[in-house]
Structure 1
């Protein structure tokens, strides 16, 4: 009575039981008809299967690399207690400052370069460079801070142990992170420059070796053959490709270049980075995802960063900002320095260093002149000094390269009432400065005004007694120092000339005594 209808006479409406096994899945065609998947052309089924496999593979590949790069990264605190006044930056669009450090630690894979007791605490910063990227990505400055530079290290707290370390005066800058960690190095650079570093990246010896291998070597040039047994660098005269241990030796050698000091090493490091930049650009590496993944894997295995960039996407954001920059706009600069009292150490060359930092704080474009009215005005001489000029200890240091010049300068001070004047011979320096110890700021201001120096040429230090007028080559004649000349190759009001750009192909002067 209730006979079973033949389902084959009706199109399924989707509300009944599943279709018979031999019908398979239904597929819509361009004419509106639906076909069984099993009856679809073989090419269609093959393409569908291939696309499915590729999609699954892409997701798995991306997930694997995200996990791998993320697991490589080690993090540390950005600060060791220093106060910050700026908020977080947008790494994609804001001006960005990244402190790049190379550590001399001998732990782990770096043990082949010495024993752990040769690198105290967290290790010392073998390389210290501040990477400064303008908001529009049109200017990049790579500012080298010599490891031998004497600076004031602020009080720091080791975030791992909560141990506090007091402020240090005239300490070597590369020792800043040895006790309290990388954050203390960041705080020290902030104090020195007046900037606020946004991120840091620290790499060890092994990172240089593996990166140079990953890119197939980096081209370098030396004026004469170099054979430095301390670093292991051995190069013939002219151009060579270095990678692995030789690349590391090229960056670390102290005795191989110039006069065997830190500044010669810095020039070699800048030339190496310039050559690496040109190679990455010419090879199209920065625009090739597969090559970038290989380099990212190599670098992150030997990298410590702050939590703000502790992910592969964050690191790639910075890399993407750099990929289209013209190497001619990548400026390598060394902070202005002069020899310290210890000839193996360096001090800031003032006022050039202060002017440079002021220019850097204004803009990443160092060719921009200072805004009108921002120049330091000469200090004024009080009409009625609150001290007895005849009792003030004044020293004239002769750094003019002119024998007996301190006598003439001392006579100028004596005629103005400063009769307690001593004279000493100092190492040659470019510009005249006035230094003073605590309690003598007013006397130093008067001495500076007497010889026409601006306030930026007056600095408090701890290693003088009273006031010291350090006469430079600009004070070789006359009763006032000559005005500082403008830089020859730019409108840079900071007084600092760019040493080289990433476009320049330079040859390092070999140390004849090396």
Structure 2
């Protein structure tokens, strides 16, 4: 007998309490592909721990001033184990810096507590999986927040990851399931995989296991949720979370909260997509409750909750002190719930890996681009009513203490004094086209014509889909930006890299001819419907119940 999240076998029909309809197996629900089977209860506990720990930081920030003694309990790991390091989020024209935080849920069974909560003895001692991955984007002006979830069975090309001790995990030669990134050196490889796919600079990560989740769920005091009909998540053969709620709104906590978050059979079409939507509803509702009722004002309750959260987390070195977590939480707290948008990465079923999914080509990239360019997913733009943007060059009043250090906004060096090395990367990353012969020479000449007298072509080549300017030192950021501006490249085409010396222009597949690179189409102004956006103030959302799972 399998748990709630266990995969259906080919041809299997899920029974219901009173003649349940057959449930469509969720995309990539753990079957095949060499990935260990994981029980739904584990995934739910893992997810709950992620959400609660994050919301504790985001909404009960003041209490952390009392818990400096917890510093020694904070566990850290390397931020990025990959070779593509984008140098952190860059400030906008007003000197304000966005923040991108990757929330990772690990299913590791590395001690007795995690083993007792997770079960599945056959997985004890096995490599951990990153079965929950959510990218949280806090806008530069702190007016809005976007969350992008990636389905755990998304198939990706894995980047090369090198552990601090020197062990190398080579880049994959084929598609690999995204949740396996954690076993390739730790959370730094999960960050590297996201960076490689999305080209979004990730400033921090927070990885959570499921220790302490029950304590945290009880301490919250209750979260309102809604179902359209009476629901009972239980099939004839015993599968299901056991959740039983009457139609309408109920306030759930403790075990019921865990059941809600792990329910697949009984919600919508019985797939993981419905479960994800229910989790987004719960997270938004919890945020509203914290803001409305200040439930964590009790120091004793907050102490217990904070200790459970700290013990369950691993963070990057940039968040290794309570003061840093406090500063981060204060930044998160500035966003009103009405400007929080929860989404799922648009996906399509994979034609190469049965039962798995891949990013939906146009719409997934559009969503990633909105995050890269700090465009609010709710379509309302930036800025709160009544706020005034600071004058250009002024320090940001909301710049977080935990943000990576940024180069000062200094005037660039005169173009004639900026040395630029130009490499031919016109073949693109897939290598489907040959590099255009002599292209580096042609573009170097274009730069010279624009006043960059020290621009020279290099014998070294590259492979880039989009033209990019990389620089090696923080003092070269303004000069690299000047090169990009002269060529009409967007600000996102400027990257810090440890793999170059000085300023290097990689002429990509998008600029195989002509005097200027092709301009990209306008960025989307709102998340696509396929991302299933959910607004943080939407307290009218009510889960549809799967036929056959009512009472």
TM-score, normalised relative to structure 2? 0.55
SS at match of 2:134: strand
The question of whether the paired residues in 2 share the 8 Å contact of 1:209 and 1:247 is answered with no
Partner of 2:339: 329
* Equivalences for residues 10-29 of structure 1 within 5 A: none
State the SS of the aligned residue for 1:183. Answer: helix
Distance 2:317 2:338 in 1: 32
- C-alpha displacement of 1:138: 0.5
Which position in structure 1 is the counterpart of 2:87?
86
CA contact (8 A) 2:231 2:266 kept: no
Of 308, 332, 348, 1:338 maps to 348
Kindly indicate whether the alpha-carbon contact (under 8 Å) linking 2:143 and 2:334 is maintained by their aligned counterparts in 1. Answer: no
After superposing the two structures, state which structure 1 stretch, 120-129 or 187-196, moved more: 120-129
The CA deviation string for residues 201-225 of structure 1, in whole angstroms up to 9 with x for no partner, is 1112234323222211322223341
Describe the SS at the equivalent of 1:221: strand
- What is the aligned residue count? 343
Equivalence for 2:154: 149
SS for the counterpart of 1:206 is: coil
Pair 1:274 & 2:284 matched: yes
Question: Is the 1:286–1:292 contact (alpha carbons within 8 Å) kept by the matching residues of 2?
Answer: yes
CA shift in 2, pair 1:75/1:438, >3 Å: closer
What 5-or-longer segments of structure 2 have no aligned partner? Answer: 1-62, 382-427, 435-464, 467-521
Structure 2: distance between partners of 1:133 and 1:63:
22
1:17 is matched with: none
Question: Does 2:506 correspond to 1:500?
Answer: no
Give the deviation of 1:63 after TM superposition.
9.5
Distance in 2 of aligned mates of 1:495 and 1:363: 19
Out of 341-350 and 288-297, give the one that drifted further: 288-297
Check whether the contact 1:96–1:134 (CA below 8 A) recurs between aligned residues.
yes
Gaps of 5+ in 1: 1-60, 370-435, 443-454, 457-485
Quick one: structure 1 residues 266 and 495, their matched pair in 2 at CA, closer, same or farther if it must change by over 3 Å? closer
1:360 equivalenced with 2:365 (yes/no) = no
Bigger Cα displacement from structure 2, 124-133 vs 282-291: 282-291
Shift of residue 120 of structure 1? 6.5
Quote the residue 1:217 is aligned against.
Answer: 222
Q: 1:324 to 1:118 in 2, by over 3 A?
A: same
Distance across 1 between alignment mates of 2:337 and 2:204: 22
Which stretch has the larger CA shift, 191-200 or 101-110? 101-110
Cα distance in structure 1, aligned partners of 2:124 and 2:278: 23
1:105-124 equivalences in 2 (<5 Å) = 105-108=108-111, 109-112=113-116, 113-115=118-120, 117-118=122-123, 121-124=126-129
How many angstroms does 1:161 deviate by? 6.6
1:164, distance to aligned residue in structure 2 (A): 2.8
Q: Aligned in 2, Cα 1:351/1:266: closer, same or farther, shift over 3 Å? A: same
In the superposition, the TM-score normalised over structure 1's length comes to 0.59
From the superposition, tell whether residues 320 and 230 of structure 1 become closer, same or farther in structure 2 (CA, over 3 Å): farther
Indicate the residue corresponding to 1:347 in structure 2. 358
The partner residue of 1:97 within 100, 117, 122 is 100
Q: Give the SS at the match of 2:67.
A: helix
1:66 aligns with 2:72: no
